[in-house]
Amino acid sequence: MKINKTNGYDINKKYYLAVGVFMLISIAYILIVNTQPFSDFSYYHELAKQIALGGVWGNTYTSVGYSIFLAAFYKLFGAKIIVAKLVNLALSILSIILFKKILNFAPIREKNKFIIFIIFVFFPSTIFYNSILCSEVLFTFLLLLSSYLLFNEEIRFKYVYIGILVGINTMVKPFFIVYFFAIFLFKLIFKEGIINALKYSLLVLLIALITLSPWVYRNTKYNKKFTFVSNNGGIVLYINNNSQNKWGRWMPIKDINNSIANTSEYKNADMTTKNKLLESAAKTWIKAHPKEFIVLGLKRLGNTYFIGDDLAYSLNGVNLSEKNKYTLYYVYGTIRGIFVFSSIIYILLYSVYILFCIVKRELDKLNKITVYFCMLFYMLSCVYFVTEGQSRYSFPIIFVFSYSFYNFINLIKFRINQKKCKRSK
């Protein structure tokens, strides 16, 4: 293996040291902060235990990819929460390594790559999410692995592998099936030809659907009618798009005026039919209330990117006074707010630059990694704009924000230096 050296010093040693420090801090956090799962996290844990013991693999209501993955480790090492936390830590370490490899494709200086890497590794949520039994850690790992394969030109049949990963990650979060369209746009932007763009993106979609087919067959057989990955898409859309939802967040379905959940048709329907009824009602409301829908969508994005209440997931069950918890929320929320706001500003500015380069036909000026990261941001944002906003949903693109945040700081420094030069003349 070729050693990357600068002034006789192995640069990779810095990365190894950073990963080692991250691992020690994360282990200490897991052992000291006794996070207990609740709500969705408790469901993932209990279902994983059930699967590990040979029980039913869910009832098609929600996606169970994370629980199935976790069940394999529960089967080997015992159905204990600490096992899940250590699995999360292993996934985080692999994600960090993948991010480093992706940065190698970026046309930026090694010093800049290392700083971006450090920002991602030691951002608070990269550490405390290891103690939360949520699907985001697995989803992020699979997203980074797909991204690495996309940029690595030395791997044969890489689009087949990406398709398999898209299928697996769709089991974790069903909306990820749209990733094939991101590949199509990416290739189209960089003039790889519409034929190639269609060929590779449709290949990814086809392999993903083949990968998903056993699970779709299982769900269809379970409900005796065609059922995709899960049946909770309708309820998510319904409870987040109605006249009683004021904050763009989760609300009890029965609190909605004239709720479908109170009708006999809904109560007597199977899960797939319930999902369709809820989805249809939500779409009807959206068409009738376009302005309210846009307002709720913006609130959902605000909840996703600017509310730091995901720290509360990590502190659930922890013996801390409310005052201390509030202090931690405030500090983390402030750091996160500045970090995310700066990152999004950079993404928006670079998006304008992308459009400028497309119009001027100067695509060679674009940084492929930056363009791709912008696309990931918009892909996820579109999903959350329509469906639901929670702070944990932003976790999978913390690596995008780390990259964008550093570039934003560099942009500010560049502008300041420009002004200084003008004054000195």
pLDDT at 422 over 80: no
A 10 A CB-CB count for 295 gives: 13
Give CA–CA dist 191/358, Å, rounded: 10
Using the predicted structure, report yes or no on whether residue 3 has a pLDDT greater than 50: no
**pLDDT at residue 10, rounded to an integer:** 63
**Sign, Cα dihedral of 193, 196, 199, 204:** negative
pLDDT digits (tens, 9 = 90+) for 402-418: 999 999 999 998 888 87
Q: What is the pLDDT of residues 24-47, one digit of tens each?
A: 999 999 999 999 999 999 999 999
Residue 8: pLDDT above 50? no
Residue 240: what pLDDT?
96
Percent of the chain with pLDDT over 70: 97
CB 238 within 8 A of CB 260: yes
Look at residue 4 in the predicted model and tell me its pLDDT: 52
One-character DSSP codes across 186-255: HHHHTTS-HHHHHHHHHHHHHHHHHHHHHHHHHHHHHHTS---S-S-HHHHHHHHSSTT--SSS---GGG
- Interval 266-321: pLDDT, tens: 999 999 999 999 999 999 999 999 999 999 999 999 999 999 899 999 999 999 99
Q: Does residue 1 have a pLDDT over 60?
A: no
Q: How far is CA 336 from CA 114, 126, 220, in A?
A: 20, 12, 42
Token pair for 26: 């994360």
Would you say residue 247 has pLDDT above 80?
Answer: yes
Res 2: pLDDT = 42
Query: Which comes out higher in pLDDT, residue 3 or 345?
Result: 345
Rg (CA), the chain: 23
Residues 118-137 have pLDDT tens digits of 999 999 999 999 999 999 99
For residues 102 and 144, the answer to whether their CB atoms sit within 8 Å is yes
Task: Quote the longest CA-to-CA distance of the chain.
Answer: 79
Q: How many residues does the chain have?
A: 425
